[in-house]
Amino acid sequence: MHRLSAEDLRAILDDAHARKAARKGWPKGRADADAPARDRVLAMIFEKNSTRTRFSFDAAIRQLGGSSIIANSTDMQLGRGEPVEDTAKVLSRMVDAVMIRANSHEDVERFARVSTVPVINGLTDRSHPCQILADIMTIEEAKGPIAGKTIAWVGDGNNVCHSFMHAAPRLGFHFNVACPAEYHPDLHDLAKGGNAVTLTADPNEAVLGADVVVTDTWVSMGDSDYEQRLHAFETYGVDEALMNKADPAAVFLHCLPAHRGEEVTDAVIDGPRSLVWDEAENRIHAQKAVLAWCFAG
């Protein structure tokens, strides 16, 4: 699978900002002037539920002038045990790119190894890179270039947290993670963050002076230890008191879906510092830049 360089990431983010600005006020179904996905078909495979990823990728490919084919894996032979590699070889003959939301990260790697068309990770148990592009775009809209900013993550050391850790050293931001010891991020992913990432068990310490406070569900798709998690994360909810310990101009992000009263209070997610609806919309713009980058390369 292609690892995006710092230059590629920057170029994708710049294109996302430019594409959003260029179509301000347009109906959502109108294609961008350059239509870089004209004549292209994107396949989307979902092994897990999705609202934002499904609709934003579909809207994105249409706005780029292309079209999509969407399937839940349970409707495919993949769901009956057809090998990932055989599925990848067949789809490579039928479409121009594939987005996969998979239970196992390893399956996406296996798919990408034999696919002859670009494969985009639409979330796995390990990472959620498309989400992070939209998040960084949202932060830049509110606060300017991401380099030098401090982002505090409060909660589970999960897939979304990992993708922030992967991006931090490449885009030059600081990423402070606060999570209970038993739900810390994967150590391999933590190592990828190098000096850009700090880890603590104390949410107050992580948010101190932060420009952005981010959280996510305490129970991700595929997690089975619900009660245990609710107990472990009891003191990790983002409320106004915690937001007040961050920089006075700090903003709040959440990839959604949110569990109000658990990882975030209504007052924060519906409050003036919350950018969650811009963040959700930016999934379209960021993913358009990813797709355009794939088709250009």
Catalytic residues, by residue number, are 101, 128, 131, 216, 255, 283
Question: What is the spatial order of strands in the sheet that 97-101 belongs to?
Answer: 67-72, 41-46, 97-101, 119-121
User: Total residues contacting ligand CP (rule CB under 6 A)?
Assistant: 8
CB of 134 to ligand CP, least distance (A): 8
To which residue do tokens 């003959």 refer? Answer: 93
Which helix (H) or strand (E) segment is 283 a member of?
helix 276-296
Stretch that binds ligand CP, among 33-41, 51-59, 61-69, 90-98 (CB under 6 A): 51-59
Is 52 one of the binding residues for ligand CP (CB under 6 A)? yes
Please tell me the distance from the alpha carbon of residue 2 to that of residue 264, in angstroms, as a whole number: 34
Q: Which does 61 bind (CB under 5 to 8 A by kind): ligand NVA, ligand CP, none?
A: none
Residues 199-228 that bind ligand NVA (CB under 6 A): 216-217, 220-221
CB of 200 to ligand CP, least distance (A): 25
Query: Residue 181: which region, alpha, beta or left (left: phi > 0; alpha: psi -120 to 50)?
Result: alpha
Distances (CA, A) of 16 to 28, 188, 261: 15, 29, 33
Which helix (H) or strand (E) segment is 46 a member of?
strand 41-46
Is 287 one of the binding residues for ligand CP (CB under 6 A)? no
Residue whose C-alpha is closest to residue 157's, from 181, 179, 135: 179
Is 158 one of the binding residues for ligand NVA (CB under 6 A)? yes
Q: Letter for the amino acid at 16?
A: A
Q: Which does 136 bind (CB under 5 to 8 A by kind): ligand NVA, ligand CP, none?
A: none
Helices 129-143, 6-22: axis angle to 10 degrees equals 60
Is 258 one of the binding residues for ligand NVA (CB under 6 A)? no
Q: Which does 254 bind (CB under 5 to 8 A by kind): ligand CP, ligand NVA, none?
A: none
Residues 104-123 that bind ligand NVA (CB under 6 A): 123
To which residue do tokens 């499904």 refer? Answer: 54
- Give the residue with the Cβ less far from ligand NVA, 15 or 135: 135
Q: Which does 51 bind (CB under 5 to 8 A by kind): ligand CP, ligand NVA, none?
A: ligand CP
Q: Where along the sequence are the contacts to ligand CP (CB under 6 A)? A: 50-53, 123, 131, 255-256
